[in-house]
Amino acid sequence: MAMMRETDARLLDTNRVAPLGEFGRILKRLNLDGPLLGGLLLICALGLFVLYSAVGENMRLLVNQMVRLGVALVAMIVLAQFPPDFLRRWTPWGFAAGLVLLVLVLTTGEVGQGARRWLDLGVRFQPSEAMKLAVPMMAAWYLHDRSLPPRFGQLLLLAILIVVPTILIARQPDLGTALLVAASGMIVIVLAGLPIRLIIALAVLSVPGAYGLWQLMEDYQKQRVLTLIDPNSDPLGAGYNIIQSKIAIGSGGLFGKGWTNGSQAHLEYLPERDTDFIFAVIGEELGLLGALSLLLLYMFVVARGLYIAMQAPDTYSRLLAGSISLTFFVYVFVNTAMVTGLLPVVGVPLPLVSFGGTSMVTLMAGFGILMSIHSHRKLLPH
Amino acid sequence: MDLLSPIKDHHSERRLFIARVALASTIGILLLGGVVARLVQLQVVDYEVFAEQSQGNRYRIEAVPPTRGLIFDRRGRVIAENLPAYQLELIPEQVEDLDDTLQRLAAMKLIAAEDIENFKELSRSGPGFKPVALKLRLTDEEIANFALQRARFPGVDFQPRLIRHYPHGEATAHAVGYVGALSKADLERLEQSEYAGTNQTGKTGVESGYEAALHGDVGYNNVVTNALGRRVPADSRDVVDALPDNVTAAPGEDVYLSLDLDLQLLATEALRGQRGALVAIDPGSGDVLALVSAPSFDPNKFAVGMSTSEYSALQNDLDQPLFNRAIRGAYPPGSTIKPMLSIAMLETGATNLQHTTMCIGYFSLPNSTHRYRDWKPEGHGEIDIVNAIAQSCDVYFYELSVDLGIDNIHRYLDMFGLGHRSGIDIRGEHRGLVPSREWKQNNFSGYDARWYNGETVIASIGQGYMLATPLQLASAIATVATRGERYRPRLVAASQNTVTGERTLYPPERLDDIRLQDESHWETVILGMHEVMQGAKGTARAAGANAEYQMAGKSGTAQVFSVAQEDEYDEDEIEFRLRDHALFVAFAPLENPRIAVALIVENGSSGSRVAAPIARAIMDEYLGYGDDAGN
């Protein structure tokens, strides 16, 4: 336990001057993690910068997004104040409530853009977003007291915990969120030590599984997969997004066409340029360098998250922190791979950059949990 | 810690976790590496391809129609001009309910209900952002009415355009023609790309014949467009750095007609209320000085567009106002061909100055009792060639035609251009007909395919199968006037480049002369024609009286054999429409002739009484002895 002691000793040194001086002390008092916060704010700043161009230099929409960002930061700070133990105790209740809300969405939810995703509880709210956190929390909660790696029976139960909300969300239909929710749960299991053999077996089984999924998919979802395979088959229909997105990114070249100078974006060739396809605007206006810079910032945040996870003192915190960090990575990967035409168009926004509120609040809440895990370590009983 | 659960080995669990994080990081880096590789492929390797595609995306070439050249008469007076007008246009993609919109426009009387289907088809055939012209010229009242209702018609608006305008309307309609909406057939005939921005083209007359010069060259604007193909306002054009240069449209050339507007107006007035045609030619150049067909129509209606019913009313009019009688009307020329036949008879030796014939009012072929009647029942008595022309003695020509024979008749009339298109520089000419043995062989069968002497007899007075257009007659008489010099008739004498101001004069096109063995035969015939108008017994001496210059003429009267669409006329009307056509050909002065005229008045009965005065008035006007010449 030498490593542990050493860490504890360092953390117990409350007089140790934080690298950022007075500001560092404020961060510490608010249970916030400086490097993580710094990375996130840089991403948000770059995001707002690009968004201003993507929404057609509309200041009102930009302010709108800044307000959302503020709300998300507040959610992050609030969640950072709850010790992981507290969160863990409330996890089963939160998960159950989430499931009830999902059922409510399917039966009474509001319809928007052909899907039933919203619930009006005073504020409009997507329960599926909350499940992005509730599912990995539930999986981590279940594994917290158990000896790892999990045994087969436990895995089965975990599978049910993950599959039920996933199917409920997929039925809305919201394939993108369903896949992310499933991924966040799966990541917990993999991090908990799912045997490598089983992972390989699952990968092999995914072939017939994919076929089954295909049968379950809605027509528009099938169309998305088909256009990925050959976007030029229907250049003005389903393949249009991908073609225009590739043109935007490709024509950006190394250094881009310059901020607010993207012709693809500004002449309305690029659909959903302020939401799911904003990465194409970055590629077009800021070029390869801009896109790589953003990816680098994302990787810094993921790395910091994984560092926090590795530093976490207990199973619940560790698994949850790992899942939150890696899910964030999945977000980034799925969106960028989709916009560059490597994956089907699944409707996953670029985290912290795409226009829109709900996913940003969820993400920041997740990072709040990460910060809480990091800052409350010394209080834990281990 | 729950002591009932299996022992948790925190240390090994942590190691396991770190191993899994390492695994996940490895996979993550590989996946991200895929995205980065993809970015490099798109932005570095295939950069050129995508850069070009994005450039092609954002600008569109928009055609700029050239301004159509103007048309002037020989003295520079405006015959066709371009006036600004407001045009009602519909942009299909901006219209929510096309059917409903058109119905409501029809209810406002802005378009005709009968044209709705037509507009619907037009709206659906082109790209959605290309405007469809609904009405080419709105009145001030219509503009005001529509402006009030504008909000109810999304996608419909009025736009300023240039509209062709003919200030002298019907007086020049047949010669100058008119412009109308480009049709599919036009586009097959014309260079498609040149008409990318144009929606009208010359349909008839000079407007059609000189389309290439008048139209000009299309220009191109490279405009920045968004994904919907719509033009982007200028202030957002800065997103595009280097557009190809625009090409300015080159305006069409101005065209100067050979027509003399005064003659044209005079002839139009002279034929008002009649059906007929008049062609006046400058014998020394082939310049057409006047070309009139009556009744006429208002060409401005074509330029601003008319409804289907207006058009069919014009087309179905019994008097056929759209029919250009001057070049398309093929009539039996009657006695107007006698001067040309006289040349044939003199040249072939069928007659000479001394030869006389005893005219007793009719002629019969040997071994036949059929009487070919002279117009003068009591006969002209003993008569020679000059008097036969002057008094239009039919018997003289009947008798000598047998000696002359149809082959010679055909050969000489052919030399004068009869039976051929004159080659005038506008389209739609009728070729007329000079019968021959060969022609009859080819167009008839059995007994009818043979040529009979009786047919030669009636051919000698321009009846029977023979047909000629007023233009052909004018051209033939011009040839007599010049004593054998022939020019291709033309309506356009010059053009002017409107940019450089450079003027191109078109030299007259001289055709093969008619060379006679004895040039004095011209003078004999011309003397006869002079007697017609200014001799003591001339048939048109009334029309030639009191002239300060010497003139030559020949009257003609053509029998009408049948009337088309007889059931539509009442009795009196049939009788009227069966009356003979009155023809007259003339030229003046006798020496150095400056004008040759041919005209026909349908059902005018008498060439010398009805047609000759019109020819005289035209010659007076042109030679400076007109009514207002002294003023």
Class of domain B261-623: alpha beta
Q: Which of residues 104-163 of A touch B (CB under 8 A)?
A: 145-149
Chain B contact present for A247, CB below 8 A: yes
C-beta separation of A248 from A270 below 8 A: yes
The contacts of residue B444 (CB under 8 Å, 6+ apart) are none
Q: Which residue has the tokens 């005939």?
A: B189
Residue among B112, B63, B336 at smallest CA distance from B222 = B63
With CA atoms as reference, the chain B residue closest to A286 would be B43
Write down the domain spans for chain B: 68-215, 261-623
Buried b (16+ CB within 10 A) or exposed e, A128-165: bbbbbbbbbbbbbbbbbebbbbbeeebbeebeebbeeb
Q: Which two tokens stand for residue A120?
A: 């009006």
Question: What is the distance in angstroms between the Cα of A95 and the nearest Cα belonging to chain B?
Answer: 23
Distance between CA atoms of A372 and A33, rounded to whole angstroms? 9
Predicted confidence band at A360 (pLDDT cuts at 50, 70, 90)? confident
Could you give the residue ranges of the DSSP H alpha helices within chain A?
Answer: 2-12, 22-29, 34-54, 59-81, 84-108, 127-144, 152-170, 175-192, 196-216, 219-229, 240-252, 263-266, 278-311, 315-339, 358-375
Residues in chain B with CB shorter than 8 Å from the CB of A253 are 43-44, 47, 51
Facing residue for B16 by CB, picked from A193, A251, A284: A193
Is A283's CB within 8 Å of B16's CB? no
Beta bridge mates, B505 = B494
| Interchain CB contact of A213 with B (< 8 Å) | no
A115 has a pLDDT exceeding 70: no
Please indicate if any CB of chain B lies within 8 Å of the CB of A329: yes
Residue B223 to chain A, least CA–CA distance (Å): 12
Quote the pLDDT of residue A295: 96
Q: Which residues of A touch B239 (CB under 8 A)?
A: 257, 260-263, 266-267
Q: Say if A322 is an interface residue toward chain B (CB within 8 Å).
A: yes
Task: Determine contact: A283 vs chain B, CB below 8 A.
Answer: yes
Q: Do B50 and A250 touch (CB under 8 A)?
A: yes
Residue with tokens 């002497």: B453
Q: Which residue of A has its CA nearest to B238?
A: A261
Residue B220: its H or E element: strand B219-224
Of B7, B20, B28, the CB nearest to A329: B28
Q: How far is A195 from chain B (nearest CA, A)?
A: 10
Q: Per-residue pLDDT averaged across A279-284, rounded?
A: 92
Q: What is the mean pLDDT of chain A?
A: 83
pLDDT on residue A105: 83
Judged by CB atoms closer than 8 Å, whether chains meet at A246 and B50 is answered as yes
| Chain A: residue whose CA lies nearest to B39 | A288
Predicted local distance difference test score (pLDDT) of residue A357: 65
What's the half-sphere exposure (Cβ side, CA atoms, 13 Å) at A209? 6
- Chain B residues touching residue A291 (CB < 8 angstroms): 39, 43
Residue A279: is its pLDDT beyond 70? yes
Stretches where chain B sits below pLDDT 50 are 1-4, 234-241, 563-568, 629-631
Residue-level pLDDT at B366: 84
Cβ pair A344, A276 in contact under 8 A: no
Residue B156 CA to residue B93 CA, distance in Å, equals 11
Instruction: Measure the CA–CA gap between B104 and A318, rounded to whole angstroms.
Output: 71
Mutate to test the interface with A, among B39, B222, B237 (most CBs of A within 10 A): B39
Q: Report residue A111's pLDDT band, with 50, 70 and 90 as the boundaries.
A: low
The interface pTM score, or ipTM, of the predicted complex is 0.87
The pair of structure tokens assigned to A59 is 């200041």
Show which residues of B are catalytic. Answer: 335
Does A267 contact chain B (CB < 8 Å)? Answer: yes
Does the pLDDT of residue A235 top 70, yes or no? no
Please give the Cα distance from B457 to A215 (Å, whole number): 96
B56 to chain A, minimum CA–CA distance in Å? 11
The more confidently predicted of residues B286 and A221 is: B286
- What is the phi/psi pair of residue B401, to 5°? -65, -30
pLDDT exceeds 70 at position A236 = no
The answer to whether the bond into A235 is cis (omega within 30° of 0) is no
pLDDT for res B245: 67
Q: Minimal Cα–Cα distance from B10 to chain A, Å?
A: 8
Which 8-state DSSP code applies to residue B604? -
Task: Please tell me which of the candidates B6, B39, B57 has its beta carbon nearest to residue A340.
Answer: B39
Between B17, B35, B224, which is nearest A318 by CB? B17
Nearest partner of B172 among B575, B469, B491, B616, judged by Cα: B491
List of chain A residues whose C-beta atoms are within 8 Å of the C-beta of residue B8 = 145-148, 315
The verdict on a CB contact (< 8 Å) between B53 and A250 is yes
- Return the residue in B1, B17, B236 with the most chain A beta carbons within 10 A, the one to mutate for interface testing: B17
User: What is chain B's alpha carbon radius of gyration, rounded to the nearest angstrom?
Assistant: 37
So what's the pLDDT on residue A173?
74
Closest among A285, A241, A278 to A263, alpha carbons compared: A285
Name the pTM for this structure. 0.61
B628 token code pair: 């207002």
Q: What is the pLDDT of residue A6?
A: 47
Are B583 and B513 in contact by the 8 Å Cβ rule? The answer is no
The answer to whether A246 contacts B18, with C-beta atoms less than 8 Å apart, is: no
Tell which residue, B174, B165, B157, B189, has the closest CA to residue B87.
B157
pLDDT tens digits along A125-159: 688 888 999 999 999 999 988 887 888 888 899 99
Lowest-confidence range among A235-249, A285-299, A356-370, B258-272?
A: A235-249
Summarize the confidence of residues A333-342 as an average pLDDT: 91
Mind listing the pLDDT tens digit for each residue in B39-98?
999 999 888 888 877 776 666 666 788 889 999 999 889 999 988 888 888 887 778 788
Confidence of residue A14 (pLDDT cuts 50, 70, 90): very low
Q: Do A269 and B58 touch (CB under 8 A)?
A: yes
User: What is the chain B residue with the closest CA to A192?
Assistant: B17
Beta carbons of B8 and A341 less than 8 Å apart: no
Residue of chain B whose Cα is closest to the Cα of A310: B18
Mutate to test the interface with B, among A58, A251, A259, A298 (most CBs of B within 10 A): A251
Best mutation site among B18, B20, B222 for testing chain A: the one with the most A CBs within 10 Å?
B20
- Contact (CB<8Å) A309/B17: yes
User: By the CB < 8 Å criterion, does A262 face chain B?
Assistant: yes
Tell how far CA B32 is from the center of its chain: 72
DSSP A217-233: S-HHHHHHHHHHH-GGG
Please check whether residue A183 touches B, CB under 8 A: no
Q: Do A291 and B14 touch (CB under 8 A)?
A: no
CA of A328 vs chain B CAs: smallest distance (Å): 11
Q: Are A354 and A276 in contact (CB under 8 A)?
A: yes
DSSP string across B58-116: HEEEEEEPPPPPPEE-TTS-EEEEEEEEEEEEE-GGG-S-HHHHHHHHHHTTSS-GGGH
Q: Give the separation between CA A237 and CA B573, rounded to whole angstroms.
A: 68
HEC string for B347-383: HHCCCCCCCCEEECCEECCCCCCCCEECCCCCCCEEE
d(CA B325, CA B311): 19
Looking at residue A318, its pLDDT comes to 93
Most A CBs within 10 A among B2, B7, B13, hence the mutation to make, goes to B13
Q: Which residues of A touch B224 (CB under 8 A)?
A: 267
The Cα A331–Cα A346 span in angstroms is 11
Contact B473, B452 (CB under 8 A): no
Test A269 with B57 for CB contact under 8 angstroms: yes
For B241, nearest residue in chain A (alpha carbons): A261
Per CB-CB distance under 8 Å, the chain B contacts of A342 are 34-35, 38
Q: How many whole angstroms separate alpha carbon B179 and alpha carbon A83?
A: 86
Taking an 8 Å cut-off on Cβ atoms, the answer to whether B58 and A295 are in contact is no
A203 has pLDDT over 90 = no
pLDDT at B224: 66
Q: Pick from A192, A249, A269: which is nearest to B227 by CB? A: A269
- Give me the percent of chain B exceeding a pLDDT of 70: 89
d(CA A252, CA B46): 11
A25-74 pLDDT, tens per residue?
A: 888 888 889 999 999 999 999 999 999 988 888 888 899 899 999 999 99
pLDDT tens column, A304-315? 999 999 999 889
Cβ atoms of residues B75 and B257 within 8 Å: no
Neighbours of B567 (CB within 10 A): 5
Return the pLDDT at A196.
83
pLDDT tens by residue, A187-199: 999 998 888 888 8
Q: Is the pLDDT assigned to residue A20 strictly greater than 90?
A: no
Q: What is the DSSP string of B182-199?
A: --HHHHHHS-GGGGSS--
> Mutation test of the interface with chain A: which of B9, B40, B42, B222, choosing the one with the most A Cβ atoms within 10 A?
B42
Tell me the CATH class for B68-215: alpha beta
When pLDDT is averaged across residues A235-261 and rounded to a whole number, the result is 79
In angstroms, the separation between the Cα of residue A302 and the nearest Cα of chain B is 9
Whether A315 and B13 lie within 8 Å, measured CB to CB? yes
Composition of chain B by helix, strand, coil, percent to 5:
45, 20, 40
